[in-house]
Amino acid sequence: MVQSKTILRALPSVLKTVDVSGLGKKYQGKVRDFYKVEGKRILVTTDRQSAFDVILGHIPFKGAVLNLLSQFWFEKTKHIVPNHMIAVPDPNVMIARECKPIPVEMIVRGYISGVTKTSIWYSYERGERMIYGIRFPDGLKKNQQLASAIITPTTHPLAGSALHDERLTRGEIIKKKIVPKKLYEEMEKISRKLFDFGSRLCRKRGLILVDTKYEFGLYKGKLMLIDEIHTPDSSRFWVSDTYKERVKRGLEPENFDKEFLRLWYAKRGYRGDGPPPEMPRHLIVALARRYIAVYEKLTGRAFRAFGYTIEERIRDSLCTIR
């Protein structure tokens, strides 16, 4: 395994964005830049760090971790549902099928937790018991496992939109015809299968898959998994060996995701409103180490630091497409 302390002895350069000539218009999401070329989407995963729907800074190697971990999971889950991945010509680049995005994110939760305003615990702690159209009993404790995994969908604003994710219920989605009933039911079924598969693999690697989000699109009328899957950005992971003891003692579980970042900001009173506090160097290093560690833990592969300028490397990898 690669030692993150060695990789991060000095903060390396980060990928904030990249312009690739010959690919046409560049589009930007929170973390990814992308181009549309002949029915394909060229996705470039940057090192931009988002939380609370805000870009907070940049984390070395983060984009490569997200992209390569998504590749790992796409390959592992293609027997459950087809996905948009075609090729990964560079650690930060994925060539994907151009799908029509479905404007609903499927959030699957196995535990009652979280600090964001869309989390179950945020609402439950404030006295709500009917959340996302689901009735929760009294007496639940933070970070407690739910009797069974639940799905709490949210809207998915288009790339570049100033809108935030908003709560939805299953009934609202079907009643408002945001997604046709039959298609939504298929998304639910697949989301549960993906979460079950991911949970079992994570357990084998010493992690708990706490919750995650799945995004879907349509390709020639066929449902496909898009975006990313089971990464530290789209999911939360806890260390399984210490979970029960820490919860028993009233401590937060050991996490291997960006919840560490959310907690750091929440303790300083920031949850997405107004200008965020600047990320200190120690937080940047800690986050980079976590991203690398979760990649190595889940895949069983060593993470390599890739040579020369990131932007130059990406342009070289895409030269045959232009």
Task: Summarize pLDDT for 79-134 with one digit per residue, the tens.
Answer: 999 999 999 999 999 999 999 999 999 999 999 998 777 789 999 999 999 999 99
Residue range 4-59, pLDDT digits in tens: 454 555 567 899 999 999 999 999 999 999 999 999 999 999 999 988 888 999 99
Write down the pLDDT at residue 7: 53
Top pLDDT among 316 and 160 is at 316
Across residues 193-222, what is the average pLDDT?
97
Each residue's pLDDT tens digit, 222-252: 999 999 999 999 999 999 999 999 999 999 8
Supply the pLDDT for residue 8: 53
Q: Does domain 4-317 have CATH number 3.30.470.20?
A: yes
* Distance set, CA 168 to CA 41, 62, 109, 156, 228 (Å): 28, 30, 15, 11, 21
**Which residue, among 128, 94, 121, 215, has the nearest Cα to 165 in the 3D structure?**
215
Hunting for tokens 């994710």 — which residue is that?
A: 165
- Looking at residue 161, its pLDDT comes to 42
| Reported confidence tier of residue 263, pLDDT bands at 50, 70, 90 | confident
Task: Show the CA angle centred on residue 233, arms to residues 148 and 131, nearest 5°.
Answer: 40
- CA 268/CA 163 separation, integer angstroms: 24
What is the separation, in whole angstroms, between the first and last Cα of the chain?
Answer: 36
Residue 183 tokens read as 């298609």
Domain extent listing, the chain: 4-317
* Pair 197, 214: CB distance under 8 Å: no
At 139-170, the pLDDT tens digits run 999 999 999 999 999 887 554 444 456 778 99
What is residue 230's predicted lDDT score, i.e. its pLDDT?
98
Tell me the per-residue pLDDT of 207-217, one tens digit each, with 9 for 90 and over: 999 999 999 99
